[in-house]
Each structure stands twice: as structure tokens, then as C-alpha cells.
Amino acid sequence: MTEPLRLGIAGLGTVGAGVVKIVRQKAALIAARGGRPITISAVCARNRAKDRGVSLDGYAWEDDPVALAQRDDVDVFVELVGGSDGPAKAATEAALRAGKDVVTANKALLAHHGQALAEAAEAGGAVLRFEAAVAGGIPVVKALTEGLAGNEITRVMGVMNGTCNYILTRMESAGLTYDQAFAEADGLGYLEADPNLDVGGIDAGHKLSLLASIAFGTQVAFDAVELEGIGRVSIEDIRQAADMGYKVKLLGVCRMTGRGLEQRMSPCLVPATSPLGQLDGGTNMVVIEGDQVGQIVLRGPGAGEGPTASAVMGDVIDIARGTRISTFGQPAATLDKATPAQTATPAPYYLRLMLLDKPGALAKVAAVLGEAGVSINRMRQRSHDQNTAPVLIVTHKTTRAALDTALAAMVGTQVVEGEPVALRIEQV
Amino acid sequence: MTEPLRLGIAGLGTVGAGVVKIVRQKAALIAARGGRPITISAVCARNRAKDRGVSLDGYAWEDDPVALAQRDDVDVFVELVGGSDGPAKAATEAALRAGKDVVTANKALLAHHGQALAEAAEAGGAVLRFEAAVAGGIPVVKALTEGLAGNEITRVMGVMNGTCNYILTRMESAGLTYDQAFAEADGLGYLEADPNLDVGGIDAGHKLSLLASIAFGTQVAFDAVELEGIGRVSIEDIRQAADMGYKVKLLGVCRMTGRGLEQRMSPCLVPATSPLGQLDGGTNMVVIEGDQVGQIVLRGPGAGEGPTASAVMGDVIDIARGTRISTFGQPAATLDKATPAQTATPAPYYLRLMLLDKPGALAKVAAVLGEAGVSINRMRQRSHDQNTAPVLIVTHKTTRAALDTALAAMVGTQVVEGEPVALRIEQV
């Protein structure tokens, strides 16, 4: 195979420009590794005139990504348009129908249409790869699909939204409120146009649903991801958690249980001394656990021009080398339709509540927990001047249902002010 | 491809038995992922009668690995015999000559004969894969060869000998001397039959030389690895380093410089808060830095039945899927013969010396450092009762040559007792 592999790139934002730079500036290196030259035939973006810091000389220009995807001189359609529907979806479908391989960084597209697109790829004899869609530059899709393929995967966890981790880290290290840290991240341009994609956990949830599909051989089921954003995490909880040896992370967790597939993206406490707990700032981390390998931890930049372009090029070079792997690691028709687990695996929980200064108040709280079958591991009541006292509780392992029963009963005791905070402690 | 992929396994120690277990017990899972059944045709080991905790029913037995490697019913020869020469080499060569793919866990074999074997694989139209040879269960060969193939690699670092890291961790955490920690590791069965393979840095050096070949497109050059074991690391240095915010690790570092290829495996100081510094016990870690991706950190178990069998099966499933990649990521004929760098990249150094209690002693030490062009970042003289005082120095970035000049001159001052300790501080 010494014929060049010809790319058509749709979307020339940061990542697209990064890919063009690698293809232009590292031609000899990637040809040596890919076993053949890698070239660009055509590109497409919204604004032709924009300066992207790299020459587009010699590339045909298309206004329509669907037209680009179908060009005869394109072997691989590189989809960097973004968005779960619209042009990204139409062009990806057109490329696959035409039997062209597709490399995409689009997590939303795959989270919503992964199964149908994987089927379309197989029908067209094409491959559809998406390393750049999950955890930026970390080659985690490859590690899970290929390197760890000899394992029954038991759990995958990840901090996969750098913006959320940045906000939580700043709240802890600089004592900022959520609103202040959010504003700071916004000022630095870290937030998506719709910030809820970040802070609502949606973006990270998309990524988690893709990893779950590979890990458990199931059809992507983003709608079944239990989503909770970081908007309700308070600086008080971050401080108290730190005091007890934990960090608060927006943590994705998926595992296959006897009750079905569990997929959660929510603020959790993790031990401060664990690799996840030590992850500060915008860096991403994915932890993969398998029955053979034990625990593998992958850490690296989750976004940005270079890291994301690196992931795109990894997929492109795979294709140049002739590697053909099913989108989610096995033929789409063999992926099971997973039953979502209705209840989460039992875990310890962190509780914070404001206790009214009444005689017997603490006893009442302890009683409702005990009645619901929730046992207490550690409890702290902080000294106070007001008529309410903050109480911190770490429970032993319990079901969320038992905990919710206890929390509901707590309201009835009339010794607790406001709604108690409950955060899961993920055992890592 | 629904024909089974048929393995011949030579070597039925811990790892071989682990591979047999996966093939027998996870047949449906690996067939789904590999796209075809994976079976075992024949096995071979020294002792046929030994109980390996798994049935060998249905497998032909060979006494000679060379005969096994050439069997008509073997598609992939799995080499788990070990050793850089002898039967492992003979059988691997025979398999490749016969056009059979080879999967090996044998770092010594590849460190010494990697180039010749890669050429033999290509000549026979076979692939030779070795994920299990480097850092056990961590899919680092794959990450470097494939996932990060779009990067110019700037540096690869690794803690890749769990036994050494265990010894150093125990010295620090339990206050053991090197000899005590060594004896403890020995009692736990952590040491190779020839312990110098571990504590002399040879085993880890083998692994480093393989990663360097992939990273820089150069022929494996284990002989050019600058090797220094952990035998001279003292508990005193571990304590003093900890006190200044560092940990001592047996760290492999390779990078391509204007002066040639630098490959070092030696005890180094790394910041205690860095991922490498936080790595305790027998776990391995590899840090890969690329011009696009920045820094990727991979962490996981570096040895043991499950992790190593996981790595072997990753390679086997790749072959089942039809993935064909050159041994070191590009055709063997295109690998450069690297010039070894004669001098290491400048770095700060940690120095510990015993100063005789004479007037002006410290000034003399400072003077010889200054005359050699080595500038001091931090210096501490500890209080003392004897007639010598321990002095700790962290230098600014300097060349090893300048440092050696200073250390030689220090002897001439006659104010220093014994030989000063000098450890490189690797900036991570």
C-alpha cells in the first residue's frame, strides 16, 4: 500500500486546523508510521476566508460537508463539524453509505446515533473511529477496545470534562464559590456555548456512554446515563470532604451488574490520595478495571488543538496501516440492548445537614438513619454560633433507596434545616 | 474470517497458564471481540506432569518449542519461554521463517535481537508483537505505536520494574535499609532468579530500549542504555529527598537530542507530588510526551499472571482482527541506527556529602562547585554531633560533566569524607 490515504476534512476549527498542521508539517513522520503518504484532498468549513494559521493551498474547497464526504478523491472523511444532528450526521451517513471510512471527534453524534452509525459503517464496508471523542489526547478508546480486549471489564470510571474539574479544583484551591469559579472558567473560554453541556455533565455523559458500549458489548445508551451536574456542589462540601480525606469530582462510572447496566455521571467523593483524587485542573483521567489486568489508569489532556488532533491522527494512521475494527469493538449486530440498572451499586455516602439547636436533635437524625438501615461510619458536629449546627456524616455502604428513605424521614423530624446534601463516595 | 485463530503456546509458567485460562474460560467473549474463535492447538513446556491449575485437554504436546512453532495447525506462536537466546530465540526465528505470527512477553529477547527478529518477521510476512514485554498489563506499546502515532515523541519515562519500586517504597515507608527491603522482596518471591536483572536495572533497561525504538524510529539499542541499579541508594538519601519534596525512583528516560539518542535507567529524584512521585509499591508507570498531545501518563500492574496474560491476549485479539503492524511501528528497514548521546541532557542534581568539621569547609565545597560552573539552588547543613556534618545540595540545571569535575575537585579539598552521592533530578 503505497497509494496515499486521502483525507477530506469537514470543520476547520481548532482541531481541524491542528490536523491540517500535522498532515502538512509531519508528512514524512506519519508516512513512515502509516506505511503510505497521508494527504488532504478537500476541506470544508463555514467561513472560507478565516485565517487558521495554516495554509490550505492545494486542497479543494467544499461548502457542503455532505458533498465533501462523497468526493471520489476522499478515502477518509474526518468529521470535525460537531453537533449530534444536522450536517455532521448527514455527512457522516453519506460517507459511510459511500463506503468511506470516517474519523470523528464528535461525542454527541455517537452518543445519540452510535448504534445506527456503526451499522451503517458495517453495511458500507467502512470503519468509523472516534478516539478524539473521548478524553481528548488519551488513547482510551484504543486501550479499551484493543489493548484490554482479553478482559471482562468490571468497571470504567472517568473524569472526562476538564472544565468541570477546573471549576472544582479552583473552588478547593482558591476558595472560590461555584459562581466565581464558573465565571473564571467562562472568562478563560473553557465553557461550551451551552455551558450546561459541561457543568450539567452532558458532555462527559456522552463520553461515558461510548466507553460503556465498548466495555460491556452493549448498544450505546446515553439516555440511560444517570446525569447530575456540578451546579449544586458547594464550597462547604468541598472543604468538609477535603477535611475527611476526600476530593469532589464529576465522576463517570459504568459497570455491568446483575441488575443491569449502571451508568452514572455525578459529583462523587474519591479518596484524596487516589489517582482520581490527585487529578487537579483541566486534565482528564480514565480508570479501567478488568478481571485479568486489575486497574489501569490513563491520564492526559482532555481537550485542545494538539491533543485532539493527536487522537484524530491516531485513528487516521490506523486506517493507513489497514487496521479495521468494529466501531464498538465487535460487530454492531452483536451488541446487546442493555437493561439499565434501576438502582446503583451500594456505596458509602457523605451527608451534610444543618441541625437545629434543639435537645435530642442529633439522636433523631441518627434514629431515622438507623431505621432506614443506613449505618454511620463517621459523624462530626462542628461547633457553631448560630441556631443551626453543621453535621457531617459518612455512612457505611448503603443503597441509594435506603438513603433516600432516611433523608425523607429526616424532614419529618423537624430538627434539620433545609435539604441535606448527599454525595456518593465511589470506592476506587 | 470465521476460521479459528489457532495458538501454539510455548512456556506454561504463570503467564502461560493465565493465557490458557482466558482462552478456555472466556471463549465467547474473545471470539466476539476477535471476530473469530481463538483456540489452542498445541503447548510445550519443560515439565509435562506439573499441575498448572487449568486443563490442557485437547491440546497436542510438544517437547521442543521449535517443533511447536512450525506446526501446521499453529497460526500464532506465543513465546513465553523467556531468555534472550536459546530455545526462545530459536523457536521465534523458526515461527517467523514459517510465516507464523508471534506474540511474546520476552523483553530480553527483543532487547538483544529486536532488529533481526523484526526483519525476519517482515521477510516471512508475519507480525511480531510484544505488548506483554513492557510494563505488564499497561497497553503502552499500543499507545505509543498506534494511539500516539501522530506525534513526534519528545520523551518517554517509566518506572517499569515493580520489584525495584517495591524496595524503594519499603525503604521510605518502613524505614528499612536496602538490604532489609531486598530480603523482604526476595522472601515474597518478587526477585528474578538473577536479582541483578531487577535491582541492576537490566530488566527495566530492556523495556526502555524497546519503547525508545518505537518512539524515535530507531533500531533497538539496549547496549547503549546507560544503566545504574538501585543497590547504592541509601535510606539516608530517600529520607533527605523526601524532606525536600522528592521521591527516589528507578526511572527510565529516553529522548532524542541534537547529541543523539539518550537512554538512561537510573535512580532519580522526581517531585513527590508528580504522578511518578505518587507511584508506590509494585505498580508501573509510563509517561509519554509528544509534541501534539503533551503528556500522557499510563499506570497499572507491571507483572503477574492476569496482567501479563491480558497483554498477551490483546496482541492475539489484534491478530484475530487482522491488524498487521510492523514490530516497532514502521518497517524494520526504515529504522535508523541511532547515535547514542555521549552526554545526558542537563538537569538539576541532588548531592549529599559528609563535610569534615573544619573552618571554611563549606566555603571550599561551594567554591569547587562554582569553579566547575555548577550553581547551587538550595543547600542544607544538618546539625551534627560527630566530626562530620551531612550537607545536602540541590543544584541548578547542570551538565553531568561539570558536576563530575566538581565532584573530583571536591576530593582534593580534603574537607569531604568518603564519596559524595549525586542523583539526577528528572524534571517531570
pLDDT bracket for residue B358 (50, 70, 90): confident
Reply yes or no on whether the pLDDT at B8 is more than 90: yes
Q: Does B125 contact A at CB distance below 8 Å?
A: no
Mean pLDDT of B204-232: 97
Mean pLDDT of B12-39: 97
pLDDT bracket for residue A387 (50, 70, 90): confident
Q: Which of B68, B112, B116, B305 is nearest to B210 (CA)?
A: B112
Question: Kindly report the CA angle at A105 between A103 and A107, in degrees rounded to 5?
Answer: 120
Between CA B33 and CA A149 the distance in angstroms is: 7
pLDDT at site A184: 95
Contacts of B415 (CB under 8 A, 6+ apart): B355, B356, B358, B360, B361, B364, B365
Q: Which of B252, B254, B255, B192 is nearest to B228 (CA)?
A: B252
Instruction: With CB atoms and an 8 Å threshold, state whether A306 touches B312.
Output: no
What are A296's three cell numbers? Answer: 489501569
CB–CB contacts below 8 A, A to B: 195
Nearest CA in chain A to B295: A300
Nearest CA in chain B to A314: B147
Query: Is there a contact between B246 and B272 (Cβ–Cβ < 8 Å)?
Result: yes
pLDDT at site B61: 97
Mean pLDDT of B83-103: 97
CB atoms within 10 A of CB B110: 28
Q: What is the pLDDT of residues A46-91, one digit of tens each?
A: 999 999 999 999 999 999 999 999 999 999 999 999 999 999 999 9
Write the residue in B143, B299, B313 that is nearest to A139 by C-beta: B143
What does the mean pLDDT of chain B come to?
Answer: 95
Instruction: Compute chain A's Rg from CA coordinates.
Output: 24
Q: Does B317 contact A at CB distance below 8 Å?
A: yes
CB atoms within 10 A of CB A172: 18
Note which residues in 129-168 of chain A have CB less than 8 A from chain B.
131, 137-139, 142-143, 146-152
Strand locations in A293-371 (E):
294-301, 349-356
What are A111's three cell numbers? Answer: 452518543
Reply yes or no on whether the pLDDT at A1 is more than 70: no
Instruction: Give, for A123, the enclosing helix (H) or strand (E).
Output: helix A107-123
Query: Residue B413: which region, alpha, beta or left (left: phi > 0; alpha: psi -120 to 50)?
Result: alpha
What are B293's three cell numbers? Answer: 498531545
pLDDT bracket for residue B383 (50, 70, 90): confident
Between CA B7 and CA B43 the distance in angstroms is: 9
CB atoms within 10 A of CB B123: 12
Instruction: With CB atoms and an 8 Å threshold, state whether A33 touches B329.
Output: yes
Q: What is the pLDDT of residues B235-253, one digit of tens each?
A: 999 999 999 999 999 999 9
Greatest distance between any 2 Cα atoms in chain A: 83
For residue A144, give the DSSP letter. Answer: I
Write the residue in A139, A300, A331 that is nearest to B295 by C-beta: A300
Expressed in angstroms, the distance from the first to the final Cα of chain B is: 46
Catalytic residues of A: 207
Question: Kindly report the CA angle at B198 between B193 and B202, in degrees rounded to 5?
Answer: 110
Q: Does A303 contact B at CB distance below 8 Å?
A: no
Q: What is the pLDDT of residues A145-203, one digit of tens each?
A: 999 999 999 999 999 999 999 999 999 999 999 999 999 999 999 998 899 999 999 99
pLDDT bracket for residue B225 (50, 70, 90): very high
What are B240's three cell numbers? Answer: 533527605
pLDDT bracket for residue A282 (50, 70, 90): confident
**Stated pTM of the model:** 0.97
Between CA B375 and CA B377 the distance in angstroms is: 7
Reply yes or no on whether the pLDDT at A220 is more than 80: yes
Question: Which residues are bridge partners to B158 per DSSP?
Answer: B252, B286
A394-398, B273-277, B357-361: segment of lowest average pLDDT: B357-361
Between CA B221 and CA B208 the distance in angstroms is: 10
CA distances from A300 to A66, A157, B145 (A): 33, 15, 17
Instruction: Compute chain B's Rg from CA coordinates.
Output: 24
CB atoms within 10 A of CB A305: 17
pLDDT at site A286: 98
Q: Which residue shows C-alpha cell 462523587?
A: A268
Contacts of B216 (CB under 8 A, 6+ apart): B153, B254, B256, B261, B336, B338
Residues in chain B within 8 Å Cβ distance of A313: 149-151, 292
Between CA A348 and CA A268 the distance in angstroms is: 11
Mean pLDDT of B383-403: 90
Q: Which residue shows C-alpha cell 541534537?
A: B258
What are B261's three cell numbers? Answer: 539518542
Q: What is the pLDDT of residues B335-345, one digit of tens each?
A: 999 999 988 89
Between CA B101 and CA B107 the distance in angstroms is: 17
Residues in chain B within 8 Å Cβ distance of A304: 294
pLDDT bracket for residue B388 (50, 70, 90): confident
Between CA B261 and CA B224 the distance in angstroms is: 9
CA dihedral A211, A215, A221, A222 (to 10 degrees): -20
pLDDT bracket for residue A357 (50, 70, 90): confident
The residue among A24, A36, A122, A146 with the most chain B CBs within 10 A of its CB, best to mutate, is: A146
Note which residues in 327-366 of chain B have CB less than 8 A from chain A.
329-331, 334
Beta sheet of B76-79, edge-to-edge order: B60-62, B38-44, B5-10, B76-79, B101-104, B128-129
Q: Which residue shows C-alpha cell 464558573?
A: A182
Instruction: With CB atoms and an 8 Å threshold, state whether A313 touches B292.
Output: yes
Between CA A146 and CA A329 the distance in angstroms is: 8
What are A210's three cell numbers? Answer: 461510548
Mean pLDDT of B372-392: 88
Between CA B209 and CA B225 the distance in angstroms is: 7
Between CA B420 and CA B410 the distance in angstroms is: 9
Say what percent of chain A tops pLDDT 90: 91
H helices of B175-290, in order, are 178-187, 196-199, 202-216, 235-243
What does the mean pLDDT of chain A come to?
Answer: 95
Domains of chain B and CATH, by start: 5-133 (3.40.50.720), 141-301 (3.30.360.10), 349-425 (3.30.70.260)
Contacts of B289 (CB under 8 A, 6+ apart): B153, B154, B155, B156, B157, B295, B296
Signed CA dihedral, A137, A139, A141, A142: sign only: positive
Between CA A388 and CA A369 the distance in angstroms is: 20
pLDDT at site A386: 77
The residue among A15, A148, A284, A318 with the most chain B CBs within 10 A of its CB, best to mutate, is: A148
For residue B299, give the DSSP letter. Answer: E
Query: Is there a contact between B409 and B368 (Cβ–Cβ < 8 Å)?
Result: yes
Contacts of B116 (CB under 8 A, 6+ apart): none
Expressed in angstroms, the distance from the first to the final Cα of chain A is: 45
How close is the nearest chain B Cα to the Cα of A67, in Å?
A: 27
pLDDT at site A388: 87
Q: What is the pLDDT of residues A84-132, one digit of tens each?
A: 999 999 999 999 999 999 999 999 999 999 999 999 999 999 999 999 9
Reply yes or no on whether the pLDDT at B1 is more than 70: no
Query: Is there a contact between B355 and B381 (Cβ–Cβ < 8 Å)?
Result: yes
How close is the nearest chain B Cα to the Cα of A32, in Å?
A: 6
Instruction: With CB atoms and an 8 Å threshold, state whether A143 touches B142.
Output: yes
Reply yes or no on whether the pLDDT at B386 is more than 80: no
What are A4's three cell numbers? Answer: 496515499
Mean pLDDT of B354-360: 89
pLDDT at site A385: 72
Greatest distance between any 2 Cα atoms in chain B: 83
Residues in chain A within 8 Å Cβ distance of B217: 29, 32
Query: Is there a contact between B232 and B212 (Cβ–Cβ < 8 Å)?
Result: no
Q: Does A307 contact B at CB distance below 8 Å?
A: yes
* DSSP sequence for B102-164: EEE--HHHHHHHHHHHHHHHHHTT--EE-GGGSSTTS-HHHIIIIITTTS-EEEEEEE--HHH
Q: Which of B142, B207, B247, B364 is catalytic?
A: B207
Mean pLDDT of B183-192: 93
pLDDT at site A246: 96
Query: Is there a contact between A269 and A247 (Cβ–Cβ < 8 Å)?
Result: yes
Tell how strand A153-159 and strand A226-227 pair up.
Answer: unpaired
How close is the nearest chain B Cα to the Cα of A415, in Å?
A: 43
pLDDT bracket for residue A289 (50, 70, 90): very high
pLDDT at site B385: 72
pLDDT at site A94: 98
CB atoms within 10 A of CB B342: 9
Write the residue in A29, A146, A325 that is nearest to B142 by C-beta: A146
Q: Which of B122, B128, B68, B87 is nearest to B316 (CA)?
A: B128
Write the residue in A149, A313, A330 that is nearest to B150 by C-beta: A313
Strand locations in B28-110 (E):
38-44, 60-62, 76-79, 101-104
What are A314's three cell numbers? Answer: 491516531
Helix axes B305-321, B27-34, angle to 10 degrees: 40
pLDDT at site B207: 98
Mean pLDDT of B153-171: 96
Instruction: With CB atoms and an 8 Å threshold, state whether A331 touches B35.
Output: yes
What are B114's three cell numbers? Answer: 529486536
pLDDT at site A69: 98
